[in-house]
Amino acid sequence: MNKRKAITLLGLCFSLLISRVNAEEKIFLGDLKPMKAKFGFPCDMVIRDGKAAGFEFLVDGKPAKIGLMAHTDSEVVFAVPTGVRKFVAVGTMPNYKRPSRNVNGRDVLDGSWSYEVLIDGVQVYESEPLCAYMKKEIPINVEIPENAKNITLKTYMLGDGNCDHAIWAEPYFIKP
């Protein structure tokens, strides 16, 4: 083998090794069965088509495709898959026509809820109200300890509950 071929082959092997090291396995929470789930209103769903309550929802200002929707107050518990080290999602809401109106025809404050994440019953993340964020998007990134058993995703109603369709957009467990 000549020197040029050997260097090219070595470079290719190194590139493949680096890409494997940087590759992460994502597990969509919508593909998993919750251990427990309760919702403030019978309005929960796994989103696979980019529509929540009939409206698109955004991540980084662009339409997202997958997520979990839960009407506040909600609590959903999942078993943590083996080898998972991180949970990521974006707290957001359906992109309603402004202003949203409740069943009585009154304007409502969009995004009047918060998000909370617990691991094995211990709080590891809590957001401000969604409406406090300029783009009404909350990046959620939680490290998961090695021996974690379960993760709990909660939302809390901070207003009158009208139109409180909390979305966990692009919710994934990440394996390094």
Whether 19 is covered by a domain: the verdict is no
Q: What is the pLDDT of residues 69-89, one digit of tens each?
A: 888 999 999 999 999 999 999
In this predicted structure, what is the pLDDT of residue 152?
98
Q: Output the domain CATH number for residue 117.
A: 2.60.120.1060
Whether 164 is covered by a domain: the verdict is yes
Confidence check: pLDDT of 10 > 60 = no
Half-sphere exposure of 1 (CA within 13 A, CB side): 8
Domain count, the chain: 1
Whether 163 is covered by a domain: the verdict is yes
Confidence check: pLDDT of 144 > 60 = yes
Whether 58 is covered by a domain: the verdict is yes
Whether 101 is covered by a domain: the verdict is yes
Q: Strand, helix or coil at 60?
A: coil
Strands 55-56 and 58-59: unpaired
Whether 17 is covered by a domain: the verdict is no
Whether 11 is covered by a domain: the verdict is no
Domain that includes residue 108, residue range:
24-175
- Count other Cβ atoms within 10 Å, centred on residue 63: 11
Q: What is the pLDDT of residues 103-134, one digit of tens each?
A: 666 665 577 899 999 999 999 999 999 988 88
Whether 12 is covered by a domain: the verdict is no
